[in-house]
Structure 1
Amino acid sequence: MKRNENLVPLSRDHHFGLLCCWKIRQGIKKDIPYERIKKYVADYWEKNLSRHFDIEDIVLPEVNNESLQIQMQDEHRQIRKLIKSISQAGSRELLSDFADALHKHIRFEERMIFPYLEEHLSGEEMNDIGEQLLLFHQKEEDSYPDEFWK
């Protein structure tokens, strides 16, 4: 399905988010030390994901469906909590939980939130979202120097 052009920047971010999940899982499979993966997660959060969540807060009010709003907010809270736990603990299970939660969240947005917006918002409302994204969105960075996943 072709994504509305106004949501494409967020979908591109989602591509990098799925890549982040894959890298974490590869690191776990290769038995990479927790600290190396933890540093990557912190870097990804700081440079990409936290900003992406802030930007989604621009789009969230446009979702006039309470259950979708609640799920999005709950998943954002869960991921933030996992990020904090990863930074404070040493459990490899947390890394896996984070990758799973982020993957699930991205799929939810791509399969539920974006189609909802495309179906229920006018062209003008979608253009307003696109304009807001132009003001706040920054291109994802994928330049982490420690390629532990290879």
Structure 2
Amino acid sequence: MEKAPIKRSTYVVTLSRDHHSGLLFCWKIKEGIKRDISFERLNNYIRYFWEGHLNKHFQEEEILLFNQIRHELTEQALMEHVQLKDLFLRISSSGLDHKEDYLFFTEFLTAHIRFEERRLFPFLESALSEALLSGIRDILAKLHEPQFKDDYPDEFWLQHKDKPHTGSE
């Protein structure tokens, strides 16, 4: 039986939307791997997503949420952010060497998102005051105008084999 989607409070729903984008990002990378898309094209997309969206998302979580309370769950989230940032930097500088490395990367990011949604956010919503959470919600709403749109032009996840991207596709 499939789990029902988590009903998120309005306080961090903006970050949950970001998480949906992150899960879709992981799916696209996995589809690219299945379709034998070159590592260079995957790296370009990963760099685009990191620089245009995920790096900012990590900063927002760390500053607005994780720093509000010291707890093993926030410490785990911070540690995983460091590990994920290291992977992004490695990909940005030299790429990864094997399909398995990309799959590990996507599985790690997916597990991190699930951890935040299923364990960390519910904990924070119960541990932090309503006034603080309301303030965080308002800041996030302002920071996300407009919302991130993944409009990467090379839709490699839809192609059946690797072919050079011309930009007119």
Q: Deviations over 1:44-88 (max 9, x none)?
A: 0010100100101121122342x1122111110111111111121
2:8 corresponds, among 3, 9, 24, to 3
- Paired with 2:33 and 2:153, the residues of 1 have a C-alpha distance of 18
- Paired with 1:15 and 1:81, the residues of 2 have a C-alpha distance of 22
The amino acid across from 2:16 in the alignment is: S
- The alignment's TM-score, normalised by the length of structure 1, stands at 0.92
Give the match for residue 65 of structure 2.
59
- Paired with 1:74 and 1:118, the residues of 2 have a C-alpha distance of 20
Is 1:112 the counterpart of 2:103 in the alignment? Answer: no
Runs of 4+ in 1 over 6 A off after TM superposition: none
- Paired with 1:108 and 1:137, the residues of 2 have a C-alpha distance of 22
- Paired with 2:144 and 2:65, the residues of 1 have a C-alpha distance of 12
- Paired with 1:52 and 1:64, the residues of 2 have a C-alpha distance of 20
- The alignment's TM-score, normalised by the length of structure 2, stands at 0.82
- Paired with 1:34 and 1:80, the residues of 2 have a C-alpha distance of 19
1:145 corresponds, among 128, 137, 153, to 153
- Paired with 1:126 and 1:24, the residues of 2 have a C-alpha distance of 33
Check whether the contact 1:6–1:129 (CA below 8 A) recurs between aligned residues.
yes
Shift of 1:33: 0.6
- Paired with 1:89 and 1:121, the residues of 2 have a C-alpha distance of 39
The amino acid across from 2:89 in the alignment is: K
Query: Which structure has the larger Rg over C-alpha atoms?
Result: 2
Q: Which 5+ residue runs of structure 2 have no aligned equivalent? A: 1-5, 159-169
Give the match for residue 110 of structure 2.
103
Is 1:30 the counterpart of 2:38 in the alignment? Answer: no
Shift of 1:147: 0.5
- Paired with 1:114 and 1:63, the residues of 2 have a C-alpha distance of 12
- Give the secondary structure class of the aligned counterpart of 1:149: helix
Count, aligned residues:
149
- Give the secondary structure class of the aligned counterpart of 1:145: coil
- Paired with 2:70 and 2:79, the residues of 1 have a C-alpha distance of 16
Shift of 1:122: 2.4
Shift of 1:126: 1.1
Q: Which 5+ residue runs of structure 1 have no aligned equivalent? A: none
Shift of 1:98: 1.7
Q: Which has more helix, going by share of residues?
A: 1
Give the match for residue 21 of structure 1.
26
Say which is worse superposed, 89-98 or 76-85, in terms of deviation. 89-98
2:82 corresponds, among 68, 77, 99, to 77
Which structure has more relative contact order (CA 8 Å, sep 6+)? It is 1
Give the match for residue 46 of structure 1.
51
Aligned-residue CA RMSD (Å): 1.4
- Give the secondary structure class of the aligned counterpart of 2:156: coil
- Paired with 1:124 and 1:96, the residues of 2 have a C-alpha distance of 40
